[in-house]
Amino acid sequence: DAEITQSPRHKITETGRQVTLACHQTWNHNNMFWYRQDLGHGLRLIHYSYGVQDTNKGEVSDGYSVSRSNTEDLPLTLESAASSQTSVYFCASSGDRSTQYFGPGTRLLVL
Amino acid sequence: AQSVSQHNHHVILSEAASLELGCNYSYGGTVNLFWYVQYPGQHLQLLLKYFSGDPLVKGIKGFEAEFIKSKFSFNLRKPSVQWSDTAEYFCAVSWTNAGKSTFGDGTTLTVKP
């Protein structure tokens, strides 16, 4: 069965370190998304991609970057981790008509 | 700007009570509408969706939603909730056919046994 996986599932890091969260999907979807989920804010879009070499900023993109070198992967990099980036991060992908399939999430703690 | 509003942040019900969760979006045009559910400790999964046709759509686990175009609304309903429906529910709207969705802030539903 097709799926979307994220790694690591849990991460503790220190302020100022660079962190990369992996997202891998086997749906063969062109569209991939990164969200963060915080209490009281629901899901907020960080970055998204409509295909290889395409990346776009979402509503909360400051301090984050993505790159898309193949269809399956969209890694999310925190350039210099800040305590405000402590959150749960979800990756999602979609094909036609925008139905999104979500990964299990990565819980990130920045100390 | 495109936005999605969910009116209830936290709903507490007893088992067998009826449920209605409100969802409104900011403006019209062609929309794709979704409700996602996130059970405790799990990832989001699709509950139901509306693309076109019959405005009353049925999803998994007895949920349904009604699209009212004139009110920019897509409310979620269930006639009789169960303890296992305890979860967070997200409404999402996409104004493009293959692109990003805007999510509401979510509604936490607690069902008391």
Question: Searching chain B, which residue's CA lies closest to the CA of residue A37?
Answer: B105
pLDDT digits (tens, 9 = 90+) for B39-88: 998 889 999 999 989 999 999 999 999 999 999 999 999 999 999 999 99
pLDDT of residue A97: 65
pLDDT digits (tens, 9 = 90+) for A22-48: 999 999 999 999 999 998 778 999 999
**Cβ distance of A42 and B43 shorter than 8 Å:** no
pLDDT digits (tens, 9 = 90+) for A11-24: 999 999 999 999 99
Q: What is chain B's mean pLDDT, rounded?
A: 92
pLDDT digits (tens, 9 = 90+) for A52-106: 999 999 989 999 999 999 999 999 999 999 999 999 999 999 987 678 999 999 9
Interface contacts (A, B; CB < 8 Å):
67
Contacts of B20 (CB under 8 A, 6+ apart): B75, B76, B77
pLDDT of residue A92: 95
Contacts of A51 in chain B (CB under 8 A): none
Output the CA–CA distances (angstroms, integers) from residue A89 to B5, B20, B79, B103, in the order listed. 22, 28, 33, 15
- Which residue carries 């879009």 as its tokens? A45
